[in-house]
Amino acid sequence: MEAKQKYEKLKGYLQDLGSVAIAFSSGVDSTFLLKCAHDVLGNKVIAVTARSCSFPKRELDEAAAFCKKEGIAHIICDSEELEIDGFSKNPPNRCYLCKQELFTKIWKVAKEHGIDHVAEGSNMDDNGDYRPGLIAVAELDVKSPLRYAELSKQEIRQLSKEMELPTWNKQSFACLSSRFPYGEEINIPRLTMIDKAEQFLLDMGFGQVRVRYHGKLARIETDADGFSIMLSLNNREKIHCAFKELGFTYITLDLLGYRTGSMNEMLKDDIIEAGKHM
């Protein structure tokens, strides 16, 4: 099935929902989903964005700006992950704990606004990794329209470009809590370190980039363009000085570059497999 056919399938699915609250992070997938839903359902769509310590302010600002431009009702709710029992210890099911709390709150907002469904923006590419958050999605009857339409990330970017969405080539993003190895405590000072480190790299011109936290060591994952930026001795010295000021002692560049779910490489295969099917 071609991307255009999948797009038509998506619109039909959204039409059948009647009304929907979209979990909106301002990323590539949720922006595309929100735009499609609003085009199909108009004012029967609301966007709900969670404000938390693991969600950079730049992303929240972009979410608000997009909804204002498109005339979409936008509700911001507070979702403080660190207050969830066990979350800060960063267990392998951390994402499940977070999504349970998040979608419970979004359902509450939806009901308050007379909305019948809640939807999120996972796509077909998310089926191949360890994604415990999708267990919460299933348990709470949250819809996944992009997966229903069998859309891949590349197809979403392609369609977004044709729709002239500003996010068509935006770097992929995941919450800052995903930068920590499982079992490594997550707290506000550490999240702040990561946020400031990544913002520094973005301001330098990096596109797709992650800063992974390993105690006093920062491991940078980036794409081919980011590798080119790093080749300059002057840039490396700038990064080293900035990261040292943030509290890192050692700064490394991951030779494999950016990849989603790199922290899952540390999990045992049986845990990952269980997470795919739960």
Which active-site residues does the annotation give? Answer: 175
Per-residue buried b or exposed e for 200-215, using 16+ beta carbons within 10 Å of the residue's own CB: bbeeeebbbbbbbbee
As given in the structure block, the two tokens for residue 224 are 């081919």
Q: How many CB atoms lie within 10 A of CB 109?
A: 16
Please report the beta strands in the chain, taking only residues with DSSP state E, as ranges in sequence order.
20-23, 45-51, 73-78, 117-119, 209-214, 217-222, 250-253
Cβ-proximal residues to 19 (8 Å cutoff; 6+ apart), any chain: 41, 44, 45, 114, 115, 116, 117
Look up residue 90 and give its two tokens: 């960063």
Cα 251 to Cα 192, 200, 204, 233, 243: the distances in Å are 17, 14, 16, 14, 7
Buried b (16+ CB within 10 A) or exposed e, 35-60: bbbbebbeebbbbbbbebbbbbeebb
